[in-house]
Amino acid sequence: MATLTYVYSDQTAVLGPLATYAEPHTYDLCVVHAKGLTAPRGWDVIRLLTEFADPGPTQDDLLALADAVREAGRPRLGSGAVASVGRRSEAETHGTIETGRRGHLRILRDR
């Protein structure tokens, strides 16, 4: 893994160690793309790294992925279903009933 930083006005691209924070005009590259990097004609490429290693997933990455999958699979009582009690939503006036909500998306079913 490596980070590509470039300065368009100087026509310079720098390929260096993976950055710890995001900045404008930077891109994180995988090993394949870091090794195969080319720049437009007339540009200078400065390579601070000559060997690139793919670190693979860390324990934190795997835990974050597991948490996201768990959260996505957890049944939710839609806030829209609770909010529509006592009033008719636009969907209900058209022959559908809102049965749940996930973010800005609504789950509708026919009556």
DSSP code of residue 30? -
Encode pLDDT of 22-55 as tens digits: 888 899 998 889 889 999 999 999 999 777 776 7
Q: What are 50-108's pLDDT values in tens digits? A: 777 767 777 887 888 888 888 887 776 655 544 444 455 554 556 677 777 776 677 77
| 76 & 104 share domain | yes
- On whether residue 65 sits in a domain, the answer given is yes
Burial 65-100 (b: 16+ CB within 10 A, else e): eeeeeeeeeeeeebebbeebeeeebebeeeeeebeb
> Do 69 and 106 fall within a single domain?
yes
Domain, as residue range, for 84? 59-110
Split into its structural domains, the chain has a count of 2
Tell me which H or E stretch contains 48.
none
Domain-located, residue 43:
yes
Residues 10 and 37 in one domain: yes
Structure tokens at 62: 């795997």
User: Is-above-0.75 flag for pTM?
Assistant: no
